[in-house]
Structure 1
């Protein structure tokens, strides 16, 4: 895309632009510097924990998150004019995690979570009477890998990081209703893949209340 397109207007969420040299932070105005470091302090803990769940080591998580913030810093002045700054930053983080996963295992076609405890918690809470399905680890890993990316993200944030749907929505740059929808979709998808019953009454936090109301 050429400069001045949708990404430059701040309305789109995509990859960092590589066509223009970023302005060094030393040339930023004080307000921009303060806003960047405030964002960094606010988001880094959650980013680190999420990256660890995906990568399985502190070192790999730190490398991915550092790379993400390097990219975010380079784009920060442009990001300040975006409608969905958090969503853009989340996209950058995910790309850096995928890049680190590829370096760790270049033969793996699709990234999978390194820690299944978040998904165990989600499925246990949604289907307490079906928890025995988790004894089949290989089958469960296969089911988790088939979740849509945003569904996996929402479950990891909600149950792996143990943050509220509202906090997960803030990190992902979407609204809370969207996160709750992702959670409901993930619960039902796992239930179907594991041949369990998807009972709406068992869904945590009313995760799929919006869809149930519209059906």
Structure 2
């Protein structure tokens, strides 16, 4: 059975029986399409779970996240040859995912929702503890944490969510955002300080 990328690209190429000869034999032109499909399927397999996890943190439910990621995959497949010539395919795909998240939120008149779980709160405590000297202040600051994170600049927001909520290594965060690892760490440092200021807690000046 063909997987999704191959099926989609083959349907486009063979629409109206243009992809077969008089005997119904598939023409050799299908081979490049098959190779393209395989590259998409490999790319999708590598990134799909993380895309779903990120979308879930934004739209608040698994089913909605699947809708967003399916739309992302459809857009990438429709323009896959173009996507492949981009300077960074993961960064391009990430931008498409963000656009589909924004589209879903707009259509449902909703705001991004960071899922309220014990794991999330633990991650945020870890984020802030390097910048805040008073652990009690960290716990108290969680009351306003959602709004403060939502107000972070986009790159800082993504770096924080990927690294602390989704536990993505710095190297992978850098790949998704199309930046250097040092820049990821810089975004995190600035996000910590910004959050500490917005939450009104005393900073230690500690850096990673």
- Which of residues 191, 194, 197 is equivalent to 1:192? 197
1:50 and 2:46 matched: no
Query: Could you tell me how far apart the structure 1 residues matched to 2:48 and 2:136 are?
Result: 33
Q: Is the 1:188–1:198 contact (alpha carbons within 8 Å) kept by the matching residues of 2?
A: yes
Q: Structure 2 matches for 1:1-215, cutoff 5 A?
A: 25-26=9-10, 27=13, 29=32, 30-104=34-108, 106=109, 108=110, 111-115=112-116, 116-117=120-121, 118-127=123-132, 129-201=134-206, 203=207, 206=208
Query: Could you tell me how far apart the structure 2 residues matched to 1:51 and 1:121 are?
Result: 22
Query: Could you tell me how far apart the structure 2 residues matched to 1:54 and 1:125 are?
Result: 25
Gaps of 5+ in 1: 1-23, 207-215
Query: Could you tell me how far apart the structure 1 residues matched to 2:139 and 2:63 are?
Result: 29
Larger Rg: 2
TM-score (norm 2): 0.75
TM-score (norm 1): 0.73
Deviation at 1:142, TM superposition (A): 2.4
Regions of 4+ moved over 6 Å: none
* Secondary structure in 1 matching 2:73: helix
Query: Could you tell me how far apart the structure 2 residues matched to 1:198 and 1:136 are?
Result: 13
| Cα distance change, pair 186–159 in 1 and its aligned pair in 2 (3 A) | same
Query: Could you tell me how far apart the structure 2 residues matched to 1:75 and 1:134 are?
Result: 46
Gaps of 5+ in 2: 1-7, 14-29
| Cα distance change, pair 130–194 in 1 and its aligned pair in 2 (3 A) | farther
